[in-house]
Amino acid sequence: MNDKQEVTKAERQSDTPALLPRVDVFEDGTGITLLADLPGVAKDKLTLRVEGDTLQLEGEISPETPANMEAVYAELHLPRYRRAFTLSSELDTDKVNAQFKDGVLTLRIPKHAHAQPRKIEVKIV
């Protein structure tokens, strides 16, 4: 598969309806922490991408159905989560740390060193 086919596939996926996961974002002096609730998503069905100043997360929902049973009624009609964020240029997207546990994605994106607060020493002359 070449790059053009991959782009076309990604574009098709972005056109399909998806659920917006609930997200909390916290900022401190050294960066941001993003917590996204993605229940029903397996780690191998989770995709994170940074393109330019955009962070995109997408996860395919794989509901667990007991053996020899099928859902008669389900309130979940969309098979995936998708959400995109525009990132500040202060953030260092080369150093993103991602952890996924119990359906919660935790992303830590540090600020560039020049964007972090620093203390300036005052000298007595």
pLDDT exceeding 90 applies to what percent of the chain?
54
Which whole-number Å values give the CA distances from 116 to 44, 91, 94, in the listed order?
34, 10, 16
Q: Do 110 and 91 touch, CB atoms closer than 8 A?
A: yes
Task: Name the residue with higher pLDDT: 56 or 120.
Answer: 56
Q: When comparing pLDDT for 106 and 70, which is higher?
A: 106
**Looking at the predicted structure, is the pLDDT value of residue 13 above 80?**
no
Does domain 18-115 fall under CATH 2.40.160.40? My reply is no
Tell me the pLDDT band of 14, cut-offs 50, 70 and 90. Answer: low
Specify whether the CB–CB gap between 53 and 86 falls below 8 A: yes
Average of pLDDT values for 3-31?
71
